[in-house]
Structure 1
Amino acid sequence: MQIRIVATGSTPQERREGRWGLSLLLGESVLLDTFGMADLFWDNLCKVRGDVSRIRHVVLSHEHWDHIEGLEKLAEKNSTVTVYICPHTEASVKAWIRGFGMPVVEVDDWLEIEKGVFISGEIAGTWSGNPLWEQIVVIQEQPWLSVLTGCAHPGLFPILQRVQNRFADPITLLMGGFHLMNSTEEGIAAAVTALRMFGVQRIAPTHCTGEPAVSILRETFGNRFVPVEEGGLINSREKIQE
């Protein structure tokens, strides 16, 4: 499956400017997150997916502003899109989402929304010392398995463990925000250990991963490290060049 990077904010300067968050288009009809700048999200989405009427699903990984702001723009043009959220999403955010009149599904366990495209259901994590739930998307194209994260607040180990408990296929691609931006060297090392433990073959970190972690991951994975650039395209089934 082709994964298009609609928008990503990953540098300290972008964060200061509010140009922050993530949005990925999976194939032609599934969006993971809608970025933190609505106008930029919409402009970029129209560039990579001219016919937005073909988008049928929007998976919101979690409730933070930098992953949901563009939803309003999409609702103006395509209010039939189904939006998938975590059941523990904060009540005011739920009300905001439901206010667009789009069908809303609260996902508490694995759900296949299109052939081979699964949502994990919410996974418990924390942010600033408070509980925060997040869901991920898994693309199954046997024997390929791609895992896509918004921010990975629950941590890479719990996320990958949940995937392994559900699927027998190897994880051929892990892509998205890895939430290592403020991690210590020990924390980054622990994340690398988790990636190795679960046999992750290719990685494509962006957004909240943080440059120190990205540098370590690039060095660790070598030609199995996939750069992520806004407007770029990644093939989930691309073979690793030996």
Structure 2
Amino acid sequence: MNIRVVATGSTPREHRERRWGLSLLLGNSVLLDTFGMPSVFRENLCRTAEDVSRIRHVVLSHEHWDHVDGLVALAEQNPKATVYICPSTERSVKAWIKGLGMPVVEVADWLEIEKGVFLSGEIAGTWSGNPLWEQFMVIQEPPGLSVLTGCAHPGLSPILQCVRRRFPDPVTLLMGGFHLLNSSREEISVEIAALRMFGVQRVAPTHCTGELAVQMLRDAFGNRFLDVEEGGLINTQSD
């Protein structure tokens, strides 16, 4: 399956300008997150998607603005697409999402939305010392699994443990925000060791991963490190 990078904001300058967040298009029909700036998301999506009306599923990993605010732009173009959210999404955010008039599904447990495309259901994480619920995606196709994260607030190890309990297949790709932006070199080293323990074959970090972690992952994975650039494409089945 092709994954197109609709939008990603990963630098301190982009964060200050609120051009921050993530949005990935899986094939032609599934979106993971909708970025933080609606105008950028709208423009990029029209340039990236073959036909916006073919998008059937919009997965919001969690409630933060930089992953949901672009949804308003999609609602104007394709209000029939179904939006998948965590049941524990904060009440006002949930009301805003439902107020856009799109079908909304609250995902509490594993759910297959298309053949071989699964949502994890919400799992517990934290942000600024407070509970935060997040879901992630799994694409199951030969030769293994592609795991896609919005921000990975629950932690990469708990996410991969969750995947291992559900699927026997190897993780051939881990892609998305890894939430290592404020982690020390020692903490990042522990995470890299965990990825190796879980047998992760390729990594494609972006967004909240942080410059230090990106460099350390690049060094650790070598030619199995994939650059994520806005407008770029990653094939889940590439060697």
Shared fold per TM-score greater than 0.5: yes
Q: 1:142: Cα distance to partner?
A: 2.8
2:58 aligned residue: 58
2:89 aligned residue: 89
1:172 maps to a residue whose letter is T
Calculate the TM-score normalised by the size of structure 2: 0.99
1:188 aligned residue: 188
CA offset digits 1:9-66 (Å, max 9, x no partner) = 0011111111100000001000000000101001000001141000000000000000
Query: Superposition pairs for residues 1-242 of structure 1, below 5 Å?
Result: 1-239=1-239
Q: Which runs of 4+ in 1 moved over 6 A?
A: none
- Structure 2 contact 142–237 (Cα < 8 Å) conserved: no
Q: 1:194: Cα distance to partner?
A: 1.1
Indicate the larger mover: 139-148 or 219-228. Answer: 139-148
Q: Distance in 2 between matches of 1:38 and 1:155?
A: 28
CA offset digits 1:191-218 (Å, max 9, x no partner) = 1011011000000000000000000000
SS in 1 for 2:132: strand
Calculate the TM-score normalised by the size of structure 1: 0.98
Q: 1:187: Cα distance to partner?
A: 1.2
CA offset digits 1:79-130 (Å, max 9, x no partner) = 1100000010000000000001111010010000000000000010000000
- Structure 2 contact 6–44 (Cα < 8 Å) conserved: yes
SS in 2 for 1:41: helix
Considering only aligned residues, what root-mean-square deviation do their CA atoms show, in Å? 0.6
Unaligned runs of 5+ in 1: none
- Structure 2 contact 28–50 (Cα < 8 Å) conserved: no
